[in-house]
Amino acid sequence: MNQTPDTPAAEPVDWGRIQRWALLAALGGFAAFVVLGIVNLMGTSSTNGTRTFFLTYSVGFACWFVVTYGSIALRTIHHLCGTSWGLLLRPMFVGASKGMYIMPLLFLPIAISFFIGNNSPYWWARPVEEPIPQVFSEELGGVEAQQKAIEDARFRRDNYLNPSFTLGRAAIYFLIWIGFVLMLNRWVGGDREGDGLAHEKLKNMSGPFLIFWAIIGTFAATDWIMSLEETWSSTMFPVIFGVTCMLSCLVFSASILLSVLNYAPLAHVVRDKHKIDVGSLTLALTMVWSYTSFSQFMLVWVANLPEEIPFFLKRTKDGWEWVSRALCVLFFGLTLLLLLFRDIKKNPVRLRRMTLWLLFMSFVNVLWWILPALPHPDQYLHVPMAIAAVIGVGGIWGWWFARNMKDVPLLTPHEALMVEGEYHRELHHGH
């Protein structure tokens, strides 16, 4: 049954209450992060402790950055394709993309880590006199391959990956991304009210924006994540990064939508078709993530290049092998098994559980990218610290998201008419 003007409206979402809970999460997460960081620092050398502190914070930043960054791509795809799932998820995309306004502030600890010398988790930010860690054994190419890889790494450090240049690029990235969001937000209100000019503006902007989104995202993924490894490089990783961004934002936004189905003005509007579309797109992006991740592993395996192998070797020991297996089985396998069934996709409770699970697994994937990059000898708190950072940064991000959602209607009258018209067209074709 669809909502009509005579249907009593449900209560609106209490975004203020969500803000309060988010602030509590931020306080608790950062308090735990600082306490765990101090305990960890007391149990190891100051250099390793400081590196771990900033590395684990970068996990928290990256987990919520991928949600924010993915929202820009999904917004542009919706404007280009006119999707029905995008019509209902667009408010969440708008709220998430406004998170880019506070991302430079959340990035500050990472920017600081570029300039702390030997304490930095980034090898290229440390003094030139410090030798780059030897990552090759005799089985992986021996001294000759090791020396060549170290020379290549030094060349990258001297000419591209240095603190000042990397920070300057980050400033440019944020200016462009914030500009994207501001321009999209300038016209989205009119589009949601049926303004044809605003609709055409958004459609014409979205194509170029999506291209630049992919290009700049490649540079950011290289600077902030891939460069943690001394010698590793991958042309496939930026693709994995982009897919992860879109999947993370999609499941986050879908979990919000499925949580407010009974609130005004969405009550009785979201139908089985919309839920099936969201579930199918979630499955499709998960399969693309699985394909690209396997392709990266396969290419490294086939090429057998000494400079690339250490990335996977680090993630097959010290307990990380179990995380690698979990990503294969619980991220890809379980999703494929469950989201093939229409009954699960049509059930809002089950589908919401799946979206929350996939958001969690996306964060585990980001943690798997970053945390094994540095050795953690005699340290056992780096994983709890990373989890606390995710909660702390997520609390601030969630507070900002809920604040923005107060000004973003979940459904406008024009959009309600579009959904209603779509429903009547389906009935007409069905008869």
**How confident is the model at residue 3, as a pLDDT?**
42
Summarize the confidence of residues 28-36 as an average pLDDT.
97
**How confident is the model at residue 270, as a pLDDT?**
85
Angle of helix 46-81 versus helix 237-259 axis, rounded to 10? 70
Q: Find the length of the chain.
A: 431
Tokens representing 207? 């194509």
Q: What mean pLDDT, rounded, does the chain reach?
A: 88
Tokens representing 315? 């993630």
Q: What is the pLDDT of residues 74-116, one digit of tens each?
A: 999 999 988 778 889 999 999 999 999 999 999 999 999 999 9
pLDDT at 306 over 80: no
Under DSSP, the state recorded for 417 is: H
List own/partner pairs for 325-333 with CB under 8 A and 24 or more apart.
326/364, 327/293, 327/361, 327/364, 327/365, 327/368, 330/361, 331/286, 331/289, 331/290, 331/358, 331/361, 331/362, 331/364, 331/365, 332/286, 332/287, 332/289, 332/290
Tokens representing 375? 């050795």
Q: Count of alpha carbons within 13 Å of 383, Cβ hemisphere only?
A: 8
DSSP line for 322-376: HHHHHIIIIIIIHHHHHHT-HHHHH-HHHHHHHHHHHHHHHHHHHHHHHGGGS--
Partners of 264 in the β-ladder: 12
Number of Cβ atoms within 10 Å of the Cβ of 124: 22
C-beta separation of 136 from 145 below 8 A: yes
Buried b (16+ CB within 10 A) or exposed e, 248-268: bbbbbbbbbbbebbeebbbbe
C-beta separation of 173 from 220 below 8 A: yes
**In percent, how much of the chain has pLDDT > 70?**
89
402: confidence class by pLDDT, cuts 50, 70, 90: very high
Using CA atoms, how far residue 386 sits from 68, 163, 229, 416, in Å, is 19, 23, 18, 42
pLDDT at 61 over 70: yes
Q: What is the pLDDT of residues 287-297, one digit of tens each?
A: 999 999 999 99
pLDDT at 148 over 90: no
Q: What is the pLDDT of residues 370-390, one digit of tens each?
A: 999 998 877 789 999 999 999
Amino acid at 208: P
Residue 264 phi, psi (nearest 5): -70, 140
